[in-house]
Chain A
Amino acid sequence: MSAWRRLRGALRTGGFLSRTPGTRRHTDRFGPLVLGRTLCTGGPLRKDFFKDLEAQLAAARKKASDALPGSNWSPFQISSNIPPETSDIVIVGGGVVGWSIAYWLKQMTKFSKGVRVLVVERDPTYSQASTVLSAGGIRQQFSLLENINLSLASADFLRHVNHFLGLVNEDPVDLQFNQSGYLFLASEKVAHIMEENHKTQRLAGASVSLLSPTQVKEKFPWINTEGVALGSYGLENEGWFDPWTLLNAFRRKAVSMGATQCFGEVTDFHYTSDVFHTEDGEAVNLRRIKSVKVQMANSLERQPVECAIVVNAAGAFSAKLAEILGVGLDPKESTFGVPVPVEPRKRYVYVVHCPDGPGLDTPFLIDYSGVYFRREGLGGNYITGVSPEEADEPDASNLEVDHQFFEDKVWPKLANRVPAFEKLKVTSAWAGFYDYNTFDQNGIIGLHPLVKNMFFATGFSGHGLQHSPAVGRAVAELILKGHFTTLDLSSFGFERILRREQMLERNIV
């Protein structure tokens, strides 16, 4: 087989000398000035016709001998990127949450026997992944204590990101973190909620300050404070960064510690079911996943991966994955009938250019009407968007951008809040999915009660990226130790969905 490749390579480039191993070794070691040859500073690409010819004849001879019976050449090649046949833990979804879990799993088993971790990602280009399309902000201004603690822990992680994710021979991780805060503006109606949230945030240890409208105007003279009753401003550990860098940092570090990556789609599960009967006589179906079938991209190859634990970190598509197991398909069943309440919701992000806009101290401003914007770079560019009302949710089957949405829903509110934005130009836009938890807009972390070995880490509804380091650690603790150790996220379990107890987050953007 290698004969074919070498021949193809030779025909393509023509310059053959650089490709044969013998001469390459020479030049690598001694540079253009090679001992034992004539003093030639022209580089290794000398075209020597007879040497080329010899090599080509040798390749042709090898090709002929391969074609004869008795050789081990076969036209069917197994692609080199299929996943292994067994793996202890399979993480479905290669976004920032999935890779964070993989990293923490390897990190926490560094000095013990170690677990085999496989991360399966459907799209190698990450074209629809929520991670890379995110605005990349991190804030502590939540209403739930668990969310605040998750953000604080993640900020601590990002502060020391090179300590955690740095590799010895590689460049340090540069997240391009902008240390500006978030500024939430509240109207009269919701000001009391903001005050309560502020108390919770201060109790948890977040550095957030409340500002009156005059103080807001003083700090940020370019804001129009009409209708604003209260402002909440983050002083520290808030800002925005590059999500792709974080994803790659997690991936690079996890792979260096032994996690395996595979680009394929999980199409099927092989599971066993045990039927138990409850006291009321109801039949309960307990399932255990035995193996995961991974379908390679653009190919008919499938590889069943035997695994002990599956982690569903598929983001916006987690519900579809769980449906393969039967979760949510049978409405008559009381427990299995409850689907994973995560669905993809499309959100638009518009890049605008405004030369007279606010400067370096622009916070990530979020208005009570839902519109938000933040500075992007130093050239007067800003990123803006709004979360649409429930009734106006755009169609989530594709990632096409609706520019009319900007004109109708974003610009008026934006220009009302920041008068300088009356004159702006939209330079670019993109759309991304929120893995929107329709139940209560908070993450689902934990085991499914009836699938014995499937963990969920999904449904973060727009704050998955900022919680990913802490969530990864929590899920790794859950898997390896059976319970949460550093942060108690048991209230984010799947049980709350079955019991219909909402853990509402009131500060969702």
Chain B
Amino acid sequence: MCVSPYVLQTVPLAKCHLSSFIHDLNKHCLYHNTKNYYKKKSLSFRFVISDFPVNQICILDAVCVVSLVIFFRSVQPLLRCCQRSALLLVARRQSSSSSASPFTLLSRYVGHSDWYRPNRWGKFSWDFLEHKDTSIEEVDMSYTLINYRGMTNLWTQHHLRTLKLRGCPEVDDWFLAGLHNFQDTLEELDISHCPLITTGGLAALRNLTALKRLNVSSLPKVSSPELVFILLEEMLPKCQITADNCDYSLMQQGVGDTGGQR
């Protein structure tokens, strides 16, 4: 069983040519591993395009990060970066002249919002490379082995709004502390079913001031989920918190109205 190193490729700004990018990827043995990798996991991407005519498109200055990993089954506890994970989602194009925040475009656009994912034969289309300058907006890495070191690659995405990390076995408290890099932009976070998260890690979410939706269902290591739910609601007043495994009857009896929707 071969143990291949993981590959993390950061695509720099618009200056790089598509061909050299593919060449680099080739060097890191993309092709023969993609087959193995994508069979196991379906990736999903969300791609939002605003519906502007071509001559108004401006050049963006964001970075597209592509991380490809290669699955290895080593038992040895190497410092693993990001095994078996990768998905990214590409974001949006800003309009050339508007000074309005890019996020409001979402409500205005009528263009397509496709997710980039491999099709059912595991084949992954290369179309996302056309948009390698755009900044990523939503990432769905559920059930992947993303960990802190792999996450460091995403810190350059200054427009990240949604992060779905459902069921990730290597997302732990230190990972949540690292999310402070998205503190102004992250609006939705889903960390349900992550086995390593404890209450100490949830305290790290205090930095995410823009958070609007948080899902903390079924965190096995959190000892008293109902109490933690209440404390989280106090800590993040503007956020709507979902915790499916909590026994709400306890809360409603004792606490009166704690706000939020359940």
In the complex, chain A residues whose CB is within 8 Å of the CB of B174: 159, 177, 179
In the bound complex, do residue A359 and residue B200 qualify as a contact, i.e. CB atoms below 8 Å apart? no
Once bound together, how far apart are the Cα atoms of A162 and B173, in whole Å? 13
B207 touches which of A159, A178, A235, A360 (Cβ 8 Å): A235
B231 touches which of A163, A177, A360 (Cβ 8 Å): A360
Interface residue A123 (Cβ < 8 Å from any Cβ of B): no
Taking CB as reference atom, which chain A residue is nearest B231?
A: A360
A239 touches which of B180, B200, B231 (Cβ 8 Å): B200
Interface residue B227 (Cβ < 8 Å from any Cβ of A): yes
In the bound complex, do residue A236 and residue B177 qualify as a contact, i.e. CB atoms below 8 Å apart? yes
In the bound complex, do residue B203 and residue A178 qualify as a contact, i.e. CB atoms below 8 Å apart? yes
Once bound together, how far apart are the Cα atoms of A166 and B78, in whole Å? 12
Known contacts A236-B180, A360-B235; A180 and B206 CB within 8 A of each other: yes
In the complex, chain A residues whose CB is within 8 Å of the CB of B79: 160, 163
In the complex, chain B residues whose CB is within 8 Å of the CB of A360: 199, 202-203, 206, 228, 231-232, 234-235
Within 8 A of B (CB), among A364-387: 378
Interface residue A248 (Cβ < 8 Å from any Cβ of B): no
A243 to chain B, nearest CB (A): 15
In the bound complex, do residue A378 and residue B224 qualify as a contact, i.e. CB atoms below 8 Å apart? yes
In the complex, chain A residues whose CB is within 8 Å of the CB of B231: 359-360, 378
In the complex, chain B residues whose CB is within 8 Å of the CB of A179: 173-174, 176-177, 200-201, 203-204
In the bound complex, do residue B199 and residue A378 qualify as a contact, i.e. CB atoms below 8 Å apart? yes
Once bound together, how far apart are the Cα atoms of A207 and B201, in whole Å? 17
- Contact code string B208-241 (vs A, CB < 8 Å = 1, else 0): 0000000000000000100110011011000000
A215 to chain B, nearest CB (A): 11
In the complex, chain A residues whose CB is within 8 Å of the CB of B176: 179
Interface residue B148 (Cβ < 8 Å from any Cβ of A): yes
B206 touches which of A162, A163, A207, A361 (Cβ 8 Å): A361
In the complex, chain B residues whose CB is within 8 Å of the CB of A159: 148, 174
In the complex, chain B residues whose CB is within 8 Å of the CB of A201: none
Interface residue B178 (Cβ < 8 Å from any Cβ of A): yes
B180 touches which of A163, A176, A207, A361 (Cβ 8 Å): A207
Taking CB as reference atom, which chain A residue is nearest B224?
A: A378
Taking CB as reference atom, which chain A residue is nearest B204?
A: A179
Taking CB as reference atom, which chain A residue is nearest B172?
A: A159
Interface residue B53 (Cβ < 8 Å from any Cβ of A): no
In the complex, chain A residues whose CB is within 8 Å of the CB of B256: none
Interface residue B259 (Cβ < 8 Å from any Cβ of A): no
In the complex, chain A residues whose CB is within 8 Å of the CB of B177: 179, 235-237, 239
B241 to chain A, nearest CB (A): 12
For this complex, 20 residue pairs linking A to B, each with C-beta atoms less than 8 Å apart, are A159-B174, A163-B77, A163-B79, A176-B198, A177-B173, A177-B174, A178-B199, A179-B176, A179-B204, A180-B200, A180-B206, A207-B180, A235-B183, A236-B180, A239-B203, A360-B199, A360-B203, A360-B231, A360-B235, A378-B199
Could you list which residues of chain B lie within 8 angstroms of chain A, going by C-beta atoms? 77, 79, 148, 173-174, 176-178, 180, 183, 198-204, 206-207, 224, 227-228, 231-232, 234-235
